[in-house]
């Protein structure tokens, strides 16, 4: 049979056949298998923050799989969250700084006293340098930060030196004790940056080991999940929030150091928020999101609440800055509410469609939390700037948040001078 040159052949042996051609009748048959985008659009996603995936469709001529997670760059996920693996860069960076500063404390203590542990005039139960060395390195200590009538204005008053092993010898001026080179204006202490530097200073091996364990074990998971930028911001803000609250209400003679405030905000508060927001333990591991892990979720939620209670109760013991714990935790909750994605109950079952009333209510909650955070820092900063060591006079009973009124615990840390 003679074929017209315009006839189209499906014969694979024909070297001139158009193999990319599909007959109209075939396309008509394929049209019956159009992907059900309507069904895919409302597919539920268990991940939080909500990830809107279009299901893989196998009815059509080709497979379609679209995922916003796959479209994100590694840098974007590092900065804004969504990773399950990879280095928690900020957590490691801060941990290295804290370790380096602690080594510097030990070296300084060893040079001054020939021992890295304080044993005189009293033993440091945290197994570390003396409080005088901590002050000299940058711990929070009110006489180095603000004027205190009768103390910082008395040039004849003698203070312990960083190398002191006795309360009656090795005396220095306040400026020598505070160190750090600058921060004194006409003899008046103005080292306000101790609100920040105290976050990186620790009182001993026990102190730093416990903080690093919490920071690396839990903080790294939180950082991967919410991203470096949000985690770093909350970490620093919570640390500063704990410091400014302690500066207002802690006794003037008490030395405070450590990242407890930052950890209470960035790790403990954020962990609690993510448990509530997700209604699962997916931020530990996405494989734990199913119903089979419901018992684990309840256990972790109750455990986190008990952990918060224990921390605040331990903060009532002498020598522990409970104000740093409370301030850091409060700022962590407030900023977490502002910065995190909306929780699961803002969405319908498909995790895509918002509930209008709940959504706008949650926006109002976020605005209130942001306003309260700004007011927190503004009012406490003004109170401390205006009143200095007398800032605690604004709230006489607040000292009982930090101590139990037994055995004179609430009087510990008050400044006193003795005549020689």
| Residues labelled as active-site residues | 260, 325
Q: Which helix (H) or strand (E) holds 98?
A: helix 89-113
Compute and round to an integer the Cα radius of gyration of the chain. Answer: 30
- 76 forms bridges with which residues in the sheet? none
Contact 262, 328 (CB under 8 A): yes
φ/ψ region of 258 (left if φ > 0, alpha if ψ in -120 to 50, else beta) reads left
Instruction: Please state, in angstroms and rounded to a whole number, the distance separating the CA atoms of residues 71 and 68.
Output: 5
Q: CA dihedral defined by 61, 63, 68, 72, rounded to 10 degrees?
A: -110
The C-alpha atoms of residue 81 and residue 190 are separated, in whole angstroms, by 38
The dihedral through the CA atoms of 362, 365, 369, 375 has a sign that is positive
Given a contact cutoff of 8 angstroms between Cβ atoms, the answer to whether 176 and 192 are in contact is no
What is the 8-class DSSP label of residue 180?
Answer: S
**Residues 54-80, buried b or exposed e (16+ Cβ, 10 A)?**
bbebeeeeeeeeeeeeeebeeeebbee
CA distance 65 to 45: 14
Instruction: Name the DSSP letter for residue 409.
Output: G
């Amino acid at each position: 049979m003679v074929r017209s040159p315009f006839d189209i052949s499906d014969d694979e042996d024909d070297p001139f056949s158009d193999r990319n051609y599909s007959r109209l009748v075939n396309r008509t048959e394929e049209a019956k298998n159009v992907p059900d985008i309507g069904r895919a659009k409302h597919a539920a996603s268990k991940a939080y923050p909500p990830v809107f995936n279009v299901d893989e469709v196998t009815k059509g001529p080709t497979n379609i799989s679209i995922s916003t997670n796959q479209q994100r760059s590694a840098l974007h996920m590092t900065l804004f969250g969504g990773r399950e693996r990879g280095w928690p860069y900020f957590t490691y960076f801060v941990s290295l700084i804290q370790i380096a500063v602690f080594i510097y404390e030990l070296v300084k203590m060893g040079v001054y006293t020939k021992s890295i542990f304080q044993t005189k005039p009293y033993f440091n139960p945290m197994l570390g340098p003396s409080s005088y060395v901590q002050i000299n390195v940058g711990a929070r200590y009110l006489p180095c930060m603000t004027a205190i009538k009768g103390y910082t204005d008395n040039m004849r008053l003698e203070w312990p030196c960083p190398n002191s092993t006795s309360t009656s010898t090795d005396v220095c001026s306040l400026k020598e004790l505070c160190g750090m080179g600058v921060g004194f204006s006409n003899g008046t202490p103005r080292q306000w940056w101790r609100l920040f530097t105290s976050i990186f200073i620790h009182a001993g091996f026990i102190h730093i080991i416990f903080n690093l364990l919490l920071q690396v074990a839990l903080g790294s998971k939180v950082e991967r999940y919410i991203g470096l930028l949000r985690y770093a911001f909350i970490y620093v803000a919570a640390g500063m929030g704990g410091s400014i609250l302690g500066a207002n209400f802690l006794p003037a003679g008490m030395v405070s150091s450590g990242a407890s405030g930052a950890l209470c905000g960035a790790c403990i508060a954020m962990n609690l928020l993510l448990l509530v927001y997700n209604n699962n333990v997916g931020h530990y591991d996405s494989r734990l999101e199913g119903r089979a892990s419901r018992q684990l979720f309840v256990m972790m939620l109750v455990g986190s609440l008990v952990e918060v209670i224990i921390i605040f109760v331990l903060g009532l013991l002498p020598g522990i800055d409970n104000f740093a714990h409370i301030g850091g935790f409060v700022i962590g909750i407030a900023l977490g509410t502002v910065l995190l994605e909306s929780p699961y109950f803002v969405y319908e079952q498909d995790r895509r469609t918002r509930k209008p009333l709940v959504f706008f209510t949650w926006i109002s909650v976020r605005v209130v939390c942001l306003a309260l955070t700004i007011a927190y820092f503004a009012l406490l900063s003004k109170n401390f700037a205006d009143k200095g060591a007398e800032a605690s006079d604004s709230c006489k009973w607040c000292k009982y948040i930090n101590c139990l009124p037994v055995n004179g615990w609430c009087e510990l840390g008050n400044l006193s001078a003795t005549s020689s």
